[in-house]
Amino acid sequence: MASRENWGSKLGVILAVAGSAVGLGNFLRFPVQAAKNGGGAFMIPYFTAFLLLGIPLMWIEWTIGRFGGGFGHGTAPGIFHSLWRKNRFIKYFGVIGIFGPIVIFIYYTYIESWLLGYSFFSLSGKYTGITSEEGMIAFLQGYQGIVRNEHFSGIETAYIFFFITFWLNILVVLFGIRRGIERICRVALPTLLVLALVIMVRVLTLKPVMNPLWTPGSGLGFLWNPDFSALKDAKVWLAAAGQIFFTLSVGIGVIMTYASYLRKNDDILLSGLTAASTNEFAEVIIGGSIIIPAAFIFFGPAGIERVAEQGSFDLGFVTMPLILKTFPAGNMFGFFWFFLLFLAGLTSSISLAQPAIAFLEDEFSISRKKAVSIFAVTCFVLTHLAIFSLAKGVVDELDFWGGTFALVVFATVETILFGWVFGIDRAWEEMHSGADIKIPRVFKFIIKYITPLFLVFILGFWTYQQAIPTLMLKGVPKQNVPYVIMTRLVMLIMFLTISFLVKKAWEKNKCVQVD
């Protein structure tokens, strides 16, 4: 078997993992979740989840990824098999670590392409004349092809930007780990952080517009002043845990795959902590200081609650363009906003592509070019499901099963496997192999007991409250039911196909011979 790639430098892998984590959720989802769930009080369950879920899962995935990479495995089926060789079924649990990223990729790249389109629209002034939220919503829906209006006569413009975005992703992963993913993350991540800082500084230096009391500082106060009564609501704690999953990219299998390209004695503890800290800086410090303070200046305390309820996409594509175009050099700031989000999306989406490509390379011993071609053709076809059925609930369905449910199930399996099957003592030793730091021993207890219990609670809570209604399509509009059922069938076929490929790989003794 040909030797596997390695990262070019420690900084390269840190930026790649941080790039995977720093995405749309940092700048759009986080401030909305905080504003809707108790303001500053939200940070208590948020940082609790960060310490008890985020950091442990980050270290677990770095550790087992590096461990599995030593046996030639870059994805969860092979890595899980390396951790528990006596169990011939464990590799099938690892299918989730390939399935989830593919499902997310096939709608994420389309949303990512909107950002490239809006970057162009900002520079060209295409939406400059729109002065109301209703007008911006109509502009967005026209672009998406949901309606036809004076702005767009169909989905052609959106499709062009999608086509460019999709094949840009493929081009990056085609060049490989070092010359593709690492190289783009070295440029994209610092660039997007600089653009975000520029916008943040501009927002925080704005003068009141509608009311002398509606200042950026008051906006920060709205976001960070705690409503401690919210801590009594279990949904707030679940929302915080969900945000940690979403923002750190844990439970997907991506970090595990990236870590498989490390060498045996490469540090994982400090590198993992650095990548997580970079993400938290982007989310808590920068992401928390742009949208809500900016919206507060224009809409005040009453309007901001309505704005927060609009959701992440409306904030990003409707509210922020209206606000930014009122700035001096508004077109430039609009471009900064959408282009930084595009770069954040790009560094995340290329990471979603890597697990499936690594699986084909490692377990079937095929060239990267062929593996990327198979992945590209398959995902290009599947992405059209999201493009042409956007208004039918397809993206929401893909996001729930691939981007939420699969994450929690996968994280639960890998945590139990790491702490209980592989063994916490052996795991602790593996974590510290080549480490530049020694982590507090309390994390040994947290990883073995607290993290899996936390995950089992989240999974159990969802099963008790939501499993039956979700499976029975409760709340799905009648006209969307056929599309949702079709989407579930497509996902089931995808899962069974990946399971079949795992079976074929093991039948040929590819993985057994490596072990």
What distances in angstroms separate CA 404 from CA 35, 100, 231, one per listed residue? 21, 9, 22
| pLDDT of 228 | 84
All residues at 6 or more sequence positions from 79 whose CB lies less than 8 Å from its CB, including other chains: 64, 65, 67, 68, 73, 94, 256, 260
| pLDDT of 515 | 45
Amino acid of residue 140:
L
Helix (H) or strand (E) holding 377, with range, is helix 368-388
Convert the pLDDT of each residue in 150-174 to its tens digit.
899 899 999 999 999 999 999 999 9
| pLDDT of 511 | 47
148 φψ region: left (φ > 0), alpha (ψ -120 to 50), beta (else):
beta
Taking a C-beta distance cutoff of 8 angstroms, is the pair 191, 21 a contact? no
Taking a C-beta distance cutoff of 8 angstroms, is the pair 102, 32 a contact? no
| pLDDT of 233 | 80
User: Residue written as tokens 């040909």?
Assistant: 2
| Secondary structure class of 228 (helix, strand, coil) | helix
Domain contains 505: no
All residues at 6 or more sequence positions from 226 whose CB lies less than 8 Å from its CB, including other chains: 38, 39, 40, 41, 43, 44
- Which residues in the chain land under pLDDT 70? 1-2, 310-311, 509-515
Torsions phi, psi for 300 (to 5 deg): 75, 180
CATH number of the domain to which 95 belongs? 1.10.4160
Domain contains 87: yes
What distances in angstroms separate CA 484 from CA 398, 470, 473, 487, one per listed residue? 9, 11, 8, 5
| pLDDT of 2 | 56
Amino acid of residue 27:
F
Domains held by the chain: number: 1
| Secondary structure class of 226 (helix, strand, coil) | strand
364 φψ region: left (φ > 0), alpha (ψ -120 to 50), beta (else):
alpha
Domain contains 475: no
Domain contains 50: yes
All residues at 6 or more sequence positions from 381 whose CB lies less than 8 Å from its CB, including other chains: none
Amino acid of residue 454:
F
| pLDDT of 386 | 94
- Cut 0.75: pTM above it: yes
What tokens does 162 get?
Answer: 């999608």
Domain contains 257: yes
| pLDDT of 73 | 93
Convert the pLDDT of each residue in 55-78 to its tens digit.
999 999 999 999 999 999 999 999
Domain contains 192: yes
| pLDDT of 514 | 45
In angstroms, the CA 141 to CA 448 distance is 48
State which residues form the domain around 278.
10-462
Domain contains 43: yes
Domain contains 474: no
| pLDDT of 312 | 72
| pLDDT of 510 | 56
In angstroms, the CA 275 to CA 254 distance is 13
